[in-house]
Amino acid sequence: MTVPFRALAGTALAAAALTAATALTGCSAVHTLTAAEKLDRAQAALGDAHAVSLTLSLHATAAQLVALDTTSGDGPSDDKAAAALLRDGTLTLRLSAPGPIKEADMRKEHVAVSFAAAGGQVAELRLAGGHLYAHASLTQTEKVADIVSPGTGAKLDAAITSGWMPSALTQLAAGDWIDVRSTQLTGALDRALRTADAQQKASAGKIASLMSVLRGDLTIRDAGTDNGRDHLIVSAPARKVVQDVLSKLGPLEGLGSFDTAKLADVPDRTVSVDMWLTGGHLAAMQVDLAALTGTTGIGTVPLRVDIDDHAAPVTVPQDAKTFDVDTLLTAFGTSN
């Protein structure tokens, strides 16, 4: 399934710019001061946190995802396997640092990324202490493999139990943590973290200017309470937000090669993001992909991010088994 990547690239950027701008601008919407103050406090709490968890989930049926595919211009798709993974899967990113996240050095942060589908966690990658760790569930991996291609799960199980796989991979399949060692990988990770840290510092100087540019674009509305949580709705004209940022500040580091030539991919309509606060802390954000892409007749397709700024810190896994990638590559004659 192609899922509307081309069209959603622009619309997702608009939503990301809107949500990020909301957190950054705080009290910018003076006509809705109370809502803005609530969001300002939540943003401050998020930045002061030492550990944060963000869980992305898409709540949609296969038919809705096919409809979004059609809207993207890539043509309809009947790949129900991909739809099932997207519909049932969640992607979680956890960050932790010695100090506040807003001041963190990318090279000192601990990062974990995990994917769950088919009713349980499939795999997790964890970068901590300068090492890359991996963990997987054979049962869940086989379920996912069967969703993508029926019968693949049994083949995967046979390959693992046949004994030809390296012991570390067998241990990974058994549910153990493995410590992935590789000279090339270590160098690549170090370069990636240095680049990310440099981009973060380069963009930091533009934050004040970004706040100024977006000051007149955002509308923050207090929608009352929802199950005991404060409900805020943040709206902005999507294309105007992106256009203002690009024309007045130029491309920001971390947004890739997106430029004014791709503005056509950004919807020329008002985009709204629902936000929920619990105890003054940002708990969730949600955007309707159907509204975002202008797809009608399919109901709502919520793309949701659940946030926890009291998350457990990312730690170094205990008793991880070492997996020397360089040795494996040398054995297969593919090492450089």
Q: What angle do CA 105, 109, 111 make, to 5 degrees?
A: 140
The model's confidence at residue 54, banded by pLDDT at 50, 70 and 90, is very high
pLDDT digits (tens, 9 = 90+) for 293-316: 888 889 998 999 999 999 999 999
Sheet architecture: strand order including 90-96: 219-226, 229-237, 270-278, 281-288, 302-308, 51-58, 90-96, 110-117, 120-128, 131-136, 178-181, 321-324
The model's confidence at residue 276, banded by pLDDT at 50, 70 and 90, is very high
Q: What is the pLDDT of residue 314?
A: 93
In angstroms, rounded to a whole number, what is the distance separating the alpha carbons of residues 62 and 70?
13
Mean pLDDT of all residues belonging to the chain: 75
Q: Tell me how far CA of residue 272 lies from CA of 72, 81, 120, 235, 292, in angstroms.
A: 20, 30, 31, 4, 8
Which residue bears the tokens 């990324």?
Answer: 113
> What pTM, to 2 d.p., does this model score?
0.75
Q: How many Cα atoms sit within 13 Å of 165 on the Cβ side?
A: 16
Token pair belonging to 54: 């963000």
Above 60 in pLDDT, residue 20? no
Q: What angle do CA 99, 306, 30 make, to 5 degrees?
A: 80
The model's confidence at residue 286, banded by pLDDT at 50, 70 and 90, is very high
Lowest-pLDDT range of 52-61, 178-187, 269-278: 178-187
Above 60 in pLDDT, residue 123? yes
pLDDT digits (tens, 9 = 90+) for 213-227: 676 788 889 999 999
Q: In 10 A of CB 49, how many CB atoms?
A: 21
Select the more confidently predicted residue: 19 or 261. 261
- Cβ proximity of 109 and 94 under 8 Å: no
